[in-house]
């Protein structure tokens, strides 16, 4: 390609066929296949799969490039504060996420194609903890818009909505039924997984942005839905699914010692439940089940518990345990009863492994048939039958049924919403129906997110809240609610990056002869932002560039059956500064230049050059001299990150 006065047109997928390059380059393969095309390099930004898999839409590649030192902080900011600022664009809870998010981002990471994923979650914890330790604030609220939004529910969905609304300058009143804020982060997930000082620090940062809080106030009981619609310009519903489902077995209906995971965990997290009175059977094998058995192992059991102090009386709110008796705890006998083989358990594998090490007994392929009651109406045993596969169906072998003695049965078989006083929101399945922008169906100005829509994860509730707030913003500005992009994430924006370096393109002025030039300064040249439409696959990278480099795990407290009793220490230890940077350095920067110089070194025409230091920004490290480029596509072949595509000038 020697012509310089070509006409620019967008790079299209079909342009790929103008090269003869095999795009999948694995270890040990020759990276370059001989060929020539009529296309020159263009720089194409795509979404990395880690970000594509993160329900909050974190700019993971962006904050990893800060931690590893490619993206340097502006003057006056530390690396950690700069990374924190990038993280909280998407999610204001990095320290909580860094501990309890099951990290679907890591499952999606392209580095799994080499040796192992990048430890994204542990770096999130590192930055989150650093931010708390150094008292970092969230960004300042936007200029006051004069609009008021009611946020109902203070779980991750409600708190994130409050945060994103304040960023846009809207007034927020947060209504919460309980006295403590945090939803399942405080009443569901035990404190040794989300330490309360960490959680409270991240919540306080949001409140410090100027959020009015009405705790111990249930909407639908203490204030009506009608009143909210009169008093506020919009409503956000983040009311979750607070109730557990009861033990789904005949005989359990009136037995006081048959309960559900939510009631059990709430009593523990309130500090009221301090010990058990004998064997506990937990039905189910999801994450809530793992939390119940892990708590049971920690609080242990006492012998000869008085009738009035039995754990069910605490769970039913009739009494509270005396914490002084905790000193007499003995190891508890905690069992998981699961209908399927445990290999099919829906819980995080890591949690299952931990509870087994802590001494929990797993009894799988067992179907609960009936709760056997004693003369006082308490459950004394669970009748179960082994399950066998017959013609592809799971069939309980009732002729082989037997009883398992117990002192408590906990169902961890799902949660449901409480719509008392809010009946008009209930879609009939104790959830709220909303559209793709999270606007409640047939209720303009009302939005909903989190478990109330579909029970999932903390990060999901936060990601949905962020989208819902954009809808609320449009609604409050009397605009049509914007359509969502195909890849709906918090993308890196090169225009903002250039502005940060005072490199924004000049204002466009219509002049003769401005077409077909790369010298004019009114455009971002040879850059194509496809991040809202495409996730970059490992097949588009040159993996041969990367050497074997094992993951740097954070240290973990592993407890055995003896050590677990009364041990409420948290499991994950934060990474050191050095390890965090080493781990971030494993990121392959999928879909974005990471300044490796391969293209500059390997271009036989010397057509690719580094831009001058004063023109440098992330995504703007190299440029092409199109007078020299012959379209050999070597730069594309040796680009490890898939950022170079042969597209420019093809016709």
Please report, as ranges, the residues that interact with ligand FAD according to CB under 6 A.
Answer: 100-102, 152-158, 175-178, 183-184, 188-189, 218-220, 238-240, 242, 265, 287-288, 291, 422, 450-452, 455-459, 461
**Around 194, how many Cα atoms within 13 Å sit in the side-chain half-sphere?**
25
Max CA pair span of the chain? 97
Instruction: Kindly tell me which of 121 and 624 has the beta carbon lying closer to ligand FAD.
Output: 121
The partner residues of 601 in beta bridges, in order of sequence, read: none
Q: What radius of gyration, in Å, describes the C-alpha atoms of the chain?
A: 28
Neighbours of 593 (CB within 10 A): 21
Q: How far is the CB of 164 from ligand FAD (least distance, A)?
A: 13
Q: How far is the CB of 15 from ligand SF4 (least distance, A)?
A: 24
Instruction: Kindly tell me which of 177 and 583 has the beta carbon lying closer to ligand FAD.
Output: 177
Instruction: Kindly tell me which of 46 and 383 has the beta carbon lying closer to ligand SF4.
Output: 46
Q: How far is the CB of 448 from ligand FAD (least distance, A)?
A: 9
Instruction: Kindly tell me which of 150 and 535 has the beta carbon lying closer to ligand FAD.
Output: 150
Instruction: Kindly tell me which of 225 and 590 has the beta carbon lying closer to ligand SF4.
Output: 590
Cα 370 to its chain centre, rounded Å, is: 38
Instruction: Kindly tell me which of 426 and 605 has the beta carbon lying closer to ligand FAD.
Output: 426
How far is 401 from 610, CA to CA, in rounded Å? 74
Q: Which does 105 bind (CB under 5 to 8 A by kind): ligand SF4, ligand FAD, none?
A: ligand SF4
Cβ–Cβ < 8 Å for 91, 160: yes
Instruction: Kindly tell me which of 351 and 470 has the beta carbon lying closer to ligand FAD.
Output: 351
Instruction: Kindly tell me which of 124 and 470 has the beta carbon lying closer to ligand SF4.
Output: 124
Residue 312: its H or E element: helix 311-315
Instruction: Kindly tell me which of 164 and 643 has the beta carbon lying closer to ligand FAD.
Output: 164
Q: Tokens in use for 97?
A: 């996420």
How far is 232 from 236, CA to CA, in rounded Å? 10
Tell me the site size for ligand SF4, rule CB under 6 A.
Answer: 27
Instruction: Kindly tell me which of 376 and 420 has the beta carbon lying closer to ligand FAD.
Output: 420
Instruction: Kindly tell me which of 239 and 608 has the beta carbon lying closer to ligand FAD.
Output: 239
How far is 634 from 651, CA to CA, in rounded Å? 20
Q: How far is the CB of 45 from ligand FAD (least distance, A)?
A: 29
Q: How far is the CB of 641 from ligand SF4 (least distance, A)?
A: 8
Q: Which does 175 bind (CB under 5 to 8 A by kind): ligand FAD, ligand SF4, none?
A: ligand FAD
57-65, 361-369, 484-492, 601-609 -> range binding ligand SF4 (CB under 6 A): 57-65
Q: Which does 587 bind (CB under 5 to 8 A by kind): ligand FAD, ligand SF4, none?
A: ligand SF4
Q: How far is the CB of 43 from ligand SF4 (least distance, A)?
A: 16
Q: Which does 619 bind (CB under 5 to 8 A by kind): ligand SF4, ligand FAD, none?
A: none
Instruction: Kindly tell me which of 100 and 650 has the beta carbon lying closer to ligand FAD.
Output: 100
Q: How far is the CB of 580 from ligand SF4 (least distance, A)?
A: 14
Cα 107 to its chain centre, rounded Å, is: 12
How far is 34 from 509, CA to CA, in rounded Å? 42
How far is 35 from 31, CA to CA, in rounded Å? 12
User: Alpha helices of 168-304 — where are they, by DSSP H?
Assistant: 184-187, 196-207, 225-231, 261-269, 287-299
Q: Are strands 622-624 and 608-610 parallel, antiparallel or unpaired?
A: antiparallel
Q: Going residue by residue from 106 to 125, which x/- string records binding to ligand SF4, judged by CB under 6 A?
A: ---xxx------x-xx--x-
Instruction: Kindly tell me which of 100 and 337 has the beta carbon lying closer to ligand FAD.
Output: 100
Q: Tokens in use for 470?
A: 């954009």
Cα 326 to its chain centre, rounded Å, is: 35
Q: 67-106: which residues touch ligand SF4 (CB under 6 A)?
A: 91, 97, 101, 103-105
Q: How far is the CB of 536 from ligand SF4 (least distance, A)?
A: 8
The partner residues of 41 in beta bridges, in order of sequence, read: 646
Q: By CB neighbour count within 10 A (0-12 exposed, 13-18 middle, 19+ buried), where does 213 fall?
A: middle
How far is 463 from 476, CA to CA, in rounded Å? 20
For 96-196, list the strands marked E by DSSP. Answer: 148-152, 171-175
Q: How far is the CB of 370 from ligand SF4 (least distance, A)?
A: 41
Q: How far is the CB of 218 from ligand FAD (least distance, A)?
A: 4
Q: Which does 220 bind (CB under 5 to 8 A by kind): ligand FAD, ligand SF4, none?
A: ligand FAD
Q: Which does 467 bind (CB under 5 to 8 A by kind): ligand FAD, ligand SF4, none?
A: none
Q: Which does 291 bind (CB under 5 to 8 A by kind): ligand FAD, ligand SF4, none?
A: ligand FAD
**Around 241, how many Cα atoms within 13 Å sit in the side-chain half-sphere?**
22
How far is 442 from 435, CA to CA, in rounded Å? 10
Q: 586-605: which residues touch ligand SF4 (CB under 6 A)?
A: 587-590
Q: How far is the CB of 238 from ligand FAD (least distance, A)?
A: 4
Residue 355: its H or E element: helix 349-357
Q: Are strands 258-260 and 408-411 parallel, antiparallel or unpaired?
A: parallel
Q: How far is the CB of 531 from ligand SF4 (least distance, A)?
A: 12
How far is 205 from 60, CA to CA, in rounded Å? 22
Q: 485-504: which residues touch ligand SF4 (CB under 6 A)?
A: none
Q: Tokens in use for 575?
A: 């990474």
User: Using CB under 6 A, which of 332, 459, 460, 552 touches ligand SF4?
Assistant: 459
Which position has the token pair 């909407």? Answer: 219
Q: How far is the CB of 162 from ligand FAD (least distance, A)?
A: 11
Residue 529: its H or E element: strand 527-529
Cα 222 to its chain centre, rounded Å, is: 33
Enumerate binding residues for ligand SF4 (CB under 6 A): 48-50, 54, 56, 58, 60-61, 64, 91, 97, 101, 103-105, 109-111, 118, 120-121, 124, 459, 587-590
């Amino acid at each position: 390609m020697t012509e310089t006065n070509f006409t620019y047109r967008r790079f299209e997928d079909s342009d790929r066929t103008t090269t003869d390059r095999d795009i999948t380059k694995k270890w040990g393969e020759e990276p370059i296949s001989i060929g020539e095309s009529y296309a020159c390099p263009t720089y194409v930004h795509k979404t990395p799969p880690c970000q594509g898999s993160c329900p909050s839409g974190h700019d993971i590649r962006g904050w990893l490039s800060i931690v590893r030192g490619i993206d340097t902080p502006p003057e006056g900011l530390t690396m950690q504060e700069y990374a924190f600022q990038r993280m909280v664009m998407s999610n204001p809870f990095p320290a909580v996420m860094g501990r309890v998010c099951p990290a679907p981002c890591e499952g999606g990471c392209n580095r799994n194609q080499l040796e192992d994923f990048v430890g994204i979650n542990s770096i999130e914890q590192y930055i989150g903890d650093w931010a708390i330790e150094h008292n970092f604030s969230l960004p300042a609220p936007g200029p006051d818009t004069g609009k008021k939004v009611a946020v109902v529910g203070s779980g991750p969905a409600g708190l994130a909505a409050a945060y994103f609304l304040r960023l846009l300058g809207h007034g927020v009143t947060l209504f919460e039924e309980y006295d403590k804020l945090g939803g399942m982060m405080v009443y569901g997930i035990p404190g040794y997984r989300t330490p309360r000082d960490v959680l409270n620090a991240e919540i306080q940062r949001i409140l410090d942005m100027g959020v009015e809080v009405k705790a111990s106030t249930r909407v639908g009981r203490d204030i009506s839905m009608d009143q909210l619609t009169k008093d506020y310009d919009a409503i956000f519903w983040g009311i979750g699914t607070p109730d557990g489902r009861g033990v789904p077995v005949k005989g359990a209906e009136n037995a006081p010692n048959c309960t559900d995971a939510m009631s059990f965990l709430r009593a523990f997290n309130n500090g009221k439940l301090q010990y058990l009175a004998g064997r506990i059977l937990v039905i189910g094998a999801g994450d809530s089940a793992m939390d119940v058995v892990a708590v049971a192992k920690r609080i242990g059991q006492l012998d000869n518990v008085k009738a009035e102090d039995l754990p069910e009386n605490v769970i039913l709110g009739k009494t509270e345990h005396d914490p002084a008796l905790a000193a007499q705890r003995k190891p508890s006998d905690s069992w998981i009863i699961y209908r399927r083989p445990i290999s099919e358990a829906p819980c995080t594998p890591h949690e299952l492994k931990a509870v087994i090490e802590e001494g929990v007994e797993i009894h799988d392929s067992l179907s609960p048939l009936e709760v056997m009651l004693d003369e006082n109406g308490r459950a004394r045993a669970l009748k179960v039958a082994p399950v066998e596969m017959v013609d592809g169906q799971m069939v309980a072998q009732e002729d082989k049924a037997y009883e398992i003695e117990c002192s408590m049965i906990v169902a961890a078989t799902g949660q449901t919403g409480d719509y008392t006083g809010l009946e008009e929101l209930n879609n009939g399945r104790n959830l709220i129906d909303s559209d793709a922008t999270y606007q409640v169906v047939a209720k303009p100005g009302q939005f909903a997110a989190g478990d109330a829509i579909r029970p999932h994860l903390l990060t999901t509730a936060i990601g949905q809240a962020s989208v819902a707030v954009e809808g609320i913003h449009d609604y409050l500005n009397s605009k049509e609610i914007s359509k969502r992009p195909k890849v709906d994430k918090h993308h890196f924006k090169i225009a903002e990056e250039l502005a940060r370096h005072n490199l924004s393109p000049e204002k466009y002025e219509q002049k003769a002869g401005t077409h077909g030039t790369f010298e004019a300064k009114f455009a971002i040249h040879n850059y194509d932002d496809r991040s809202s439409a495409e996730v970059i696959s490992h097949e588009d990278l040159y993996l041969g560039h990367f050497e074997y480099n094992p993951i740097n795990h954070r240290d973990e407290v592993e407890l055995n059956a003896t050590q677990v009793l009364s041990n409420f220490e948290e499991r994950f230890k934060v990474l050191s500064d050095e390890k965090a940077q080493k781990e971030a350095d494993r990121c392959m920067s999928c879909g974005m230049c990471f300044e490796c110089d391969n293209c500059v070194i390997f271009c036989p025409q010397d057509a690719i050059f580094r831009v001058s230091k004063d023109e440098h920004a992330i995504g703007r490290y190299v440029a092409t001299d199109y007078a020299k480029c012959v379209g050999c596509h070597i730069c594309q072949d040796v680009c490890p990150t898939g950022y170079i595509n042969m597209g420019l000038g093809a016709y």
